[in-house]
Amino acid sequence: MLFKETPLGGAFVIDLEEHRDDRGSFARTFCRREFEAHGLETAVVQTNLSVSQRAGTVRGMHYQVHPATETKYVRCTRGAIYDVIIDLRPDSPTYAQHFGVELSASNRRGLFVPRMFAHGFQTLEDESEVTYIVSEFHAPSAERGVRHDDPAFEISWPKAVTVISDKDAAWPVFAP
């Protein structure tokens, strides 16, 4: 696995090191030792799958607060997404800054999302499938979010929004 730190400290884009032969390829998608060597948390309590039918669908921007803050390791296993994270750690030098990266079935790239980062994505293709490995159980009482179109972040989504849940559209405007 190849780890590349993003401009937001503690968040990494993770590319696979594929080994190819006549049969095809093999690659490790998660390794506790390699994650730990980069200072990343490795607790896994659940794995989630989302499937979005239409390109342009936005899911997010979600996070959980104490005592249920969580890390996520996100990969797109079918289709393609534009994945975005926002640093919401008040003491961070990159507080309220965002980073976006394309994850797709073809580039096989992943994104490690630290605790107290809002996370969301927009599908770039119909029938896109996203897998999340998370370090904490979902806790509805700790769930929070910020608007995907909040002017405080100026996220440039690659497509017009075609589908968004009422809940995601109603997150409050960010107030630092």
Catalytic residues: 62, 132
Beta strands 19-21 and 24-26, pairing class: antiparallel
β-bridge mates for residue 25, sequence order: 20
Question: Which residue, 8, 15, 1, is CA-closest to 111?
Answer: 15
Strand order across the 128-134 sheet: 2-5, 12-15, 110-113, 72-78, 128-134, 46-52
β-bridge mates for residue 134, sequence order: 46, 72
Task: Give how far Cα 17 sits from Cα of 27, 48, 56, Å.
Answer: 6, 24, 30
Cβ neighbours, 10 Å, residue 17: 9
Q: What value, to the nearest 5°, has the Cα angle with vertex 45 and ends 12 and 17?
A: 35
